[in-house]
Amino acid sequence: MNTYVDGNKGLNLLDFAYEKCLNGVPKVSKPISELADDYIKKYGRTDIAINKLIKNQLSKNTINGFVTSFGGFVTMPVTLPDNVTSVIYVQMRMIASIAIIRGYDLTDDEVQTFVYSCMVGKGVTDVFKQAGVQVTNKISLSAVNKIPGRVLTTINQAIGFRFITKAGAKGTINLGKVIPIIGAGVGATFDYTTTRLIANRAKKVFEGNNVINLSAISKEK
């Protein structure tokens, strides 16, 4: 297995989903900033806003709810690659929304890296260590911003490799043959459970005040 190639493949998938989060998908979903702002206006930058968002997004992460809310089989295959399931898009939108509500800037490359980290979970701190970055349980965003661009690229590729390996093993991505955008039956329960886990992880990682809680990533599966 070529780690570099697979890392780039995973990173490309994450980048694609991230861009769609930022800008939205025509006739399917609004830009992520608008989604987050809706909750900020109603509840402020609070845990209440985040919990409401998670609850509402999780309700969409079922077969019927997702098809109804996001256009289903007719529109999604046109807007997302065939080997990226819609649940990945929902998961990343939740992470990104939580980051915005907590005051992080999604156009910041380092913030983008930690959004990806939330998708992968356990082992991401090892990625930083292997890249020569000194990490503690919590790290300020200003410290992360000092990471050289080439090192950040290496970190992103490593995260991409772990993402595509984990997603492929769990069936979120089919690496051999493209799969339908929405799986059937048994996939719904798994998606719901996994998405809740990722949402809770993001709440801990993006705790506010431009601090990243790395321990929240490393302790999760």
Q: Do the beta carbons of residue 208 and residue 141 sit within 8 Å?
A: no
Output the pTM of the full model: 0.80
Distance CA 188, CA 184 (A): 7
DSSP designation for 25: B
CA distance 82 to 61: 18
The number of distinct structural domains making up the chain is: 1
Of 4, 6, 11, the residue nearest 119 (C-alpha): 11
From CA 109, how far away is CA 153, in angstroms rounded?
10
Q: Which domain holds residue 32?
A: 3-218
pLDDT score at 218: 65
> Per-residue pLDDT for the chain (221 aa), expressed as one digit of tens each?
454 456 678 888 888 889 988 998 777 788 999 999 999 999 999 999 999 999 888 876 543 334 334 433 333 333 444 445 567 888 899 999 999 999 999 999 999 999 999 998 877 888 888 887 777 778 888 888 888 888 888 899 999 888 887 765 554 444 333 333 333 344 455 567 888 888 999 999 999 999 988 877 766 55
- Output the pLDDT for position 6: 61
pLDDT value for 61: 53
Q: Which of 65, 11, 63, 17 is nearest to 180 (CA)?
A: 63
pLDDT (0 to 100) of residue 182: 35
